Structure formats: structure tokens, C-alpha cells
């Protein structure tokens, strides 16, 4: 897929290449990369630059038993079992399919109101990542952000006050973004969303429900 309009900014893609992002954000970026040849090419260029920089770093001295210790760790590892080939026609790219344990039919959804469903895939003190399913035509509550919210569209599309986001597109919102995402009519919108801080909802009801849904 090469027609992704909204691609991840360079600073976040470089952070992913350097291993500097929270694990929750890593999953979103890896899934986004799987959906765009252009983003994949940019990532490869950043990784090449990183490799060239490593060539300029002075080598560190290793302990005398480093080789033996490494072999011992390898020997103690379990042999990975071969994974069955996933069925064709799914909407989840490989990194997300691995995280979920399957495609859309393997997701364990939980209702959060207004027909919206979510599945929290991972949560830590640094960030959390979840799948969101928003009914076609449904608007999400107006909100801003205490930190960074990274949203990747997997199915359908949504629009806010500034733009439209379809499959493969990624929106990175921060404290300066105040919006009301609305899923397009015709097909439920499914997104992969990572946040490193709670959202700031305008309405009273969303704020009351927020501790229970964890967004």
C-alpha cells in the first residue's frame, strides 16, 4: 500500500528506529509501516543512518567469558514453534495480528458507550494502546490531550475539524489539538490508538466515565 496521505512525522519515526518510543507507540508505528511503502522506505533510511553512526562509535571491551555466556543463553532458549499462515482477507497487518493473536474476529471487545467498543492491548505507566471500533456516523466526544495521542485507521475513515483520515493514515495529536472525530457513514471505523496521558474531555458525562473506560 503506497497511497497513505497522513504519514508519521520524522521525529517519531526516528524515535521508533532508535528504540526510544514506549512499547505501546511501537505497535502503532510498526502497523503503520506495514501499510505504507513510503513510510517503510523512510524508516530504512533512518536505520541506515543509525547504522552508519554506530560505525563511528569506539568499540567497548568485552569480558573474557562474553562469548561463552552468549552461547549459554542461546542454548537455554526455547525453540520457537512455527506459526500457521494467517488467512487472507483480514484487516490487521502482521505486527498487530501478532499482538492480538489473530485478526478482527479474535478481538475481545468491551463496550464503552454510544455503540463504541474497545480492546486494551497493552497498558503501562508510560503509555497504553487499544483498538477502538466506532459505529459508522458516530461522533466521539469533543476532547483535547494531556499528552500525545497516536491514531491509526485500520478500517473505514473518520474526519475531524481539520482533515479526513482513512485506512493507513495516522493522526498524531498533542496538547494543541482540540477536536471531535466523526466516523464516516457506510462502514464502522476501526482504529489502533496509543496514548501516553489521559484525554481531556469537554463534556461532563465523558469525564465521569473516563476512569472506568481508561481513555
- In whole angstroms, what is the distance from residue 153 CA to residue 73 CA? 40
The residue behind cell 495521542 is: 149
In this structure, how many other beta carbons lie within 10 angstroms of the beta carbon of residue 109? 13
- In whole angstroms, what is the distance from residue 170 CA to residue 183 CA? 15
If you average pLDDT over residues 86-104, what whole number do you get? 86
Helix 37-55 vs helix 23-34: crossing angle, to nearest 10: 120
Closest CA to 42 of 78, 4, 75: 4
Q: Which helix (H) or strand (E) holds 125?
A: none
- The confidence score (pLDDT) of residue 33 equals 96
- In whole angstroms, what is the distance from residue 27 CA to residue 41 CA? 18
**pLDDT digit string, tens, across residues 167-214:** 999 999 888 888 889 999 999 999 999 998 876 666 545 544 445 455
- In whole angstroms, what is the distance from residue 171 CA to residue 109 CA? 23
Look up the CATH number of the domain holding residue 179.
Answer: 2.60.120.10
- The confidence score (pLDDT) of residue 85 equals 41
CA atoms within 13 A on the CB side of 7: 20
Give the CA radius of gyration of the chain.
20
Q: What is the extent of the structural domain holding 211?
A: 1-85+92-215
pLDDT band (50, 70, 90) for residue 7? very high
The tally of domains found in the chain comes to 1
- The confidence score (pLDDT) of residue 143 equals 73
| Percent of the chain residues topping a pLDDT of 90 | 57
- In whole angstroms, what is the distance from residue 19 CA to residue 37 CA? 21
Residue with more model confidence, 74 or 154: 154
Contact (Cβ atoms closer than 8 angstroms) between residue 129 and residue 151? no
Amino acid at each position: 500500500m503506497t497511497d497513505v496521505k497522513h504519514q508519521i512525522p520524522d521525529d517519531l519515526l526516528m524515535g521508533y528506529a532508535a528504540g526510544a518510543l514506549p512499547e505501546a507507540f511501537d505497535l502503532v508505528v510498526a502497523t503503520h509501516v506495514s501499510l505504507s511503502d513510503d513510510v517503510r522506505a523512510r524508516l530504512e533510511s533512518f536505520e541506515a543512518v543509525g547504522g552508519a553512526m554506530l560505525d563511528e562509535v569506539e568499540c567497548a571491551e568485552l569480558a573474557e567469558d562474553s562469548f561463552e555466556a552468549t552461547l549459554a543463553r542461546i542454548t537455554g532458549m526455547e525453540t520457537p514453534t512455527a506459526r500457521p499462515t494467517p488467512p487472507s482477507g483480514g484487516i490487521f497487518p502482521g505486527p498487530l495480528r501478532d499482538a492480538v493473536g489473530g485478526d478482527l474476529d479474535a478481538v475481545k471487545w468491551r463496550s464503552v458507550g454510544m455503540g463504541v467498543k474497545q480492546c486494551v492491548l497493552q497498558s503501562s505507566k508510560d503509555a497504553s494502546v487499544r483498538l477502538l471500533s466506532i459505529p459508522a456516523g458516530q461522533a466521539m466526544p469533543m476532547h483535547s490531550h494531556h499528552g500525545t495521542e497516536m491514531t491509526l485507521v485500520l478500517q473505514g475513515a473518520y474526519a475531524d475539524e481539520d482533515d479526513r483520515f482513512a485506512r493507513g493514515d495516522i493522526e498524531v495529536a498533542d496538547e494543541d489539538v482540540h477536536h471531535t472525530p466523526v466516523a464516516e457513514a457506510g462502514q464502522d471505523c476501526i482504529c489502533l490508538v496509543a496514548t501516553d496521558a489521559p484525554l481531556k474531555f469537554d463534556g461532563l458525562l465523558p469525564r465521569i466515565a473516563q476512569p472506568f473506560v481508561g481513555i
